[in-house]
Structure 1
Amino acid sequence: MTAPNPPRRRDALANREALLRAAQSVLASNPTASLDAIAQAAGLTRRAVYGHFADRDSLLREVIAVGAQRFNAIAEATDESDPRVTLARMATRLWREASAVRASANIALDDAHLTDTVLALAPLRHRIRDLTRAGVDSGAFRGDMPAELLAFLIEETARATLRELRLTTADADSTVVRVVLSIVGLSWREQAELISAHPEIFAQD
């Protein structure tokens, strides 16, 4: 009888996982790291890498996909009755996930991989657009521009914030939340009142 998980198959899966973990770790601190550096960090040879990925870009696309799965899951799971709270809570959770998966965030900021990132994050973008439409329709968000344009501004501002803060600012949670709430039209005082009334915005998962 054939074993359900032959040793060679288990070794291949283990090597693939090791490569992905090494890529996430190395690219988190050095987005331009070479394939040799990633292979060395995984304890594998460059030849072994080619057994799983055709080239460096193939490996990076997989890192993007792994991070995107987590980002998309957060967007889908964050759903409060108030669109403002939903957006703020989503921003907090996504920021913390980006901090934990810095490689994915770094790659996402690289224009060379923008197309792959856009495709991988399509569910997240659709969720933001649906949320923005709900916020505009309910009057919770500013209504002086089309919801589609407002959603685009949220996405681009969040991307610019990631690039500026480099994922190291001590009060990053609060900064990111206030940035997105400002974009959707809340004044500084309204933001403070919302945050005070909803401490769950910054709750740890």
Structure 2
Amino acid sequence: MSQLNKQNQLSPLTDTPRFKAVLLGEGGVGKSSLFLRIKDNVFGETLQPTIGIESCSKSLYVGGEKVLFQIWDTSGVEKFQSLTRSYYRNTQVVLLVYSVQDSTSLQLLTRWIKDADDHAPNAMRFLIGNKCDLEKSLSDQSVNNFAAMHECVNVFSTSAKTGEGIDRALVKITEKLLNSYQGPFMMESPFLCDSTETYEDSISLTKSNKNSGKKDKSCCF
């Protein structure tokens, strides 16, 4: 991850680590539901598709260390894709979201990976299999193969409906970031829409010392 260190040459804004993550994927995979679960810890049965950009800030406490995580929800509708490209600036994390019950949604992530390659080439990639409360149509092996092919750091299973797996994913992602970036930090993007409301909340997560700093042998959880 030597390319990641290039972004650390910026002047520091704060000693508190700040990271920006963007949710990418096709419409209908549950990105906005994941966003709402992280933001307000609720599930909306009748969410309308996101048009444009929404963002929220979440303070994570991992092993007693505070990390500010800014999460951006981008529209999966193709005609709005060009609108989102300027918002990749200062992104450290790309969250590639697919639905575990829709194999097509996994394959269609390749277009978003291409977009991330063009606009956030140094960002860490994580593969998120959402809707794990439903029956899977994809084998773990096929998902792992896709993740390896596209250099995803980890694969996570989540359910925006029940909240399953989301906190685990956040703490693992944060651990990877803290192991890869060394302070001082200047990670918060200056790009915000006038219509974007930034929400800050706190959750306390316990950092696991097991295999800390080592690459996971298996990417499924």
TM-score category, normalised to shorter length: under 0.3
Larger Rg over CA atoms? 1
TM-score for the superposition, normalised by structure 2: 0.24
Higher relative strand content: 2
Higher relative helix content: 1
